């Protein structure tokens, strides 16, 4: 049985009735909603939204009471191949929606029902049923010769759903079992695509919640895989015995982390962000924008490239929100400013890459671009989601191309994923020269024998949950201590 805490939250937008049978007793009619008068005397007059809520409540009850196999069959008998109790309450209510002629209401009902199942099965680690559900939706899309008008209409609308972007969005949840070597390159970055779904107010709330949950699971998985991989890899031997590389960068990922950590030893990006915010308090917005550009370019890139970036950013910021130039900036203005700069560094129109993005990503300056975006996130963490949505738009823009054709983009995506994991997650990475620490032990090692130490800081309870989630990755690990687990040793 599924715990109530994993069920979709009730909201004013989609009010769910108490129970399926109780809801049919004295159900109030909404005066401002179109109503339907079913032929069956056993049902009251229902508005379209009330009919939709009844079907959603039906699946919520099925999830709590029955196995995934049974629930999947119930979904099939209702939406795919209507059989069995033709006069059941869910069947009659769905027929009402179809009879209304509203394809939008039917598709919204279908999507809400789908994501009630997806959200619960994903939370309960029963992803194989999501895969079966996705496949089921694409079956029986041709009406039979003898077929009712209602059934024909249902098949036509479901076919439209399967041919839409909504179905492609759903397929993101079913790709867990695909071979990593055979999957499309965009699947490696589906956490960004899911974030984009989670904040899209046009999506049903159930879909937003499912996307938010799965995206977070993918981020946690990558974080732990990266920490474990770097902890087991020896710079001296160049060998890593057990765990696979979670990135597509190959051995370059270790050299890249070493470069990042060497920069961290000279100055901390987080400390730099705090200093910038402290020094720019109580100054006018016009001067804040000037200081913002200097902050972004501080120790970021060579002089010529820095001048090019500064020229473009200055041109954008000088005209940005000019009506506030003589006022003191606040957090709301900081958020809006950071979002605009993120767009200038990624995609301004929500589709095509910006000039600065092309300049940096295609000229071997992906790390520079990633650091610029990181600095923005560090002074305004609320922009993190906006950045991920912009990255999702870039992925969708080039999704139809092969990985070899857009290698410049995938290289940047690997680096930004690495940067954000190292600096914005609860993992601390340290680079230690082992030949200096234990010279008597490392006499046979190269002069600079480095190890990356990764430390996950979280409560034991959370770590245990992570181990349960990714038991295949952490099966050999043991927890020690109450507040900190050292992964590298």
pLDDT band, residue 341 (cuts 50/70/90): very high
Q: Match 């031997």 to its residue by tokens.
A: 237
Q: What is the pLDDT of residues 440-449, one digit of tens each?
A: 544 444 445 4
Which whole number is the average pLDDT over 270-294? 94
Interval 1-8 mean pLDDT: 43
pLDDT at 227: 82
Phi, psi of 371 (to 5 degrees): -65, -40
Say what the pLDDT of residue 1 is: 44
The answer for 280, left when phi > 0, alpha when psi is -120 to 50, beta otherwise, is: alpha
Over 60: is that where the pLDDT of 64 sits?
A: yes
User: Distance of alpha carbon 151 from its chain centroid, rounded?
Assistant: 36
User: How far, in Å, CA of 236 to CA of 210, rounded?
Assistant: 43
Q: Say how far apart CA 310 and CA 173 lie, in whole Å.
A: 41
For residue range 93-130, list pLDDT tens digits in order: 999 999 999 999 999 999 999 999 999 998 888 888 99
Where do we find the tokens 């767009």? Answer: 343
Q: Which two tokens stand for residue 300?
A: 């970021």
Which helix (H) or strand (E) covers residue 455, if one does? strand 450-457
What are 437-446's contacts with CB under 8 Å, separation 24+? 445/236, 446/236
* Spatial distance between the Cα atoms of 192 and 345, rounded to a whole number of angstroms: 17
The whole-number pLDDT of residue 16 equals 40
pLDDT digits (tens, 9 = 90+) for 315-338: 999 999 999 999 999 999 999 999
Measuring CA to CA, which residue among 451, 417, 458, 454 is closest to residue 436?
Answer: 451
Tell the residue number behind the tokens 């695509």, with chain if given: 193
Average pLDDT value for residue range 192-199: 94
Task: Give 39 or 192, the one with higher predicted confidence.
Answer: 192
Side-chain half-sphere CA neighbours of 112 within 13 A? 27
pLDDT band, very low/low/confident/very high, at 81 (cuts 50, 70, 90): confident
CA–CA dist 459, 296 (Å, integer): 34
Please tell me the predicted confidence (pLDDT) of residue 464: 45
Domain range list for the chain: 33-173, 250-424
Q: Residue 450: phi, psi to the nearest 5?
A: -105, 150
Asked if residues 455 and 484 have their Cβ atoms less than 8 Å apart, the reply is yes
- In the block, which residue shows the tokens 């008998």? 77
If one counts every other C-beta atom within 10 angstroms of the C-beta of residue 427, the result is 19
pLDDT at 436 over 80: no
Q: Are 316 and 344 in contact (CB under 8 A)?
A: yes
Contact in structure between 23 and 17 (CB atoms under 8 Å): yes
Token reading at 308: 């090019």
Phi, psi (deg, nearest 5) at residue 251: -65, -15
Q: Report which of residues 177 and 474 the model is more confident about.
A: 177
pLDDT at 4: 42
């Amino acid at each position: 049985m599924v715990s109530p805490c994993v069920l979709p939250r009730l909201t004013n937008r989609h009010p769910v009735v108490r129970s399926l049978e109780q809801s049919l007793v004295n159900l109030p009619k909404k005066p401002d909603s179109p109503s339907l008068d079913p032929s069956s005397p056993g049902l009251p007059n229902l508005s379209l939204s009330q009919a939709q809520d009844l079907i959603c409540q039906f699946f919520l009850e099925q999830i709590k009471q029955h196995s995934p196999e049974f629930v999947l069959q119930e979904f099939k008998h209702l939406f795919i191949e209507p059989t069995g109790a033709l006069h059941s309450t869910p069947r009659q209510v769905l027929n009402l929606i179809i009879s209304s002629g509203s394809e939008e209401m039917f598709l919204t009902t279908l999507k809400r029902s789908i994501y009630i199942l997806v959200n619960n099965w994903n939370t309960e680690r029963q992803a194989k049923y999501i895969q079966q559900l996705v496949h089921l939706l694409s079956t029986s899309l041709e009406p039979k010769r003898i077929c009712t008008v209602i059934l024909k209409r249902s098949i036509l609308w479901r076919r439209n759903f399967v041919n839409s972007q909504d179905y492609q969005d759903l397929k993101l949840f079913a790709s867990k079992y695909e071979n990593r070597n055979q999957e499309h390159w965009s699947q490696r970055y589906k956490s960004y695509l899911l974030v984009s779904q989670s904040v899209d107010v046009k999506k049903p709330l159930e879909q937003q919640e499912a996307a938010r949950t799965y995206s977070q699971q993918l981020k946690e998985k990558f974080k732990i895989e990266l920490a474990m991989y770097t902890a087991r890899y020896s710079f001296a031997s160049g060998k890593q015995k057990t765990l696979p590389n979670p990135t597509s960068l190959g051995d370059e990922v270790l050299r890249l982390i070493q470069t990042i950590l060497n920069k961290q030893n000279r100055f901390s990006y987080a400390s730099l962000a705090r200093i910038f915010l402290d020094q720019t308090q109580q100054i006018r917005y016009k001067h804040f924008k000037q200081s913002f550009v200097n902050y972004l370019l501080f120790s970021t890139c060579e002089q010529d490239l820095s001048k090019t970036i500064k020229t473009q950013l200055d041109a954008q910021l000088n005209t940005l929100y000019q009506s506030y130039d003589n006022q003191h900036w606040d957090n709301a203005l900081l958020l809006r400013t950071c979002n605009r700069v993120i767009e200038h560094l990624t995609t301004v129109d929500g589709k095509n890459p910006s000039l600065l993005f092309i300049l940096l990503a295609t000229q071997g300056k992906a790390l520079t671009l990633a650091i610029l975006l990181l600095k923005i996130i560090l002074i305004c963490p609320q922009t993190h989601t906006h950045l991920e949505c912009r990255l999702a738009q870039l992925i969708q823009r080039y999704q139809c191309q092969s990985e070899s054709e857009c290698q410049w983009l995938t290289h940047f995506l690997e680096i930004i994923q690495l940067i954000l994991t190292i600096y914005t997650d609860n993992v601390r990475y340290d680079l230690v020269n082992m030949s200096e620490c234990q010279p008597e032990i490392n006499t046979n090692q190269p002069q600079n024998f480095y190890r990356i130490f990764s430390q996950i800081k979280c409560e034991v309870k959370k770590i245990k949950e992570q181990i349960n989630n990714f038991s295949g990755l952490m099966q050999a690990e043991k927890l020690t201590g109450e507040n900190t687990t050292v992964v590298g040793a």
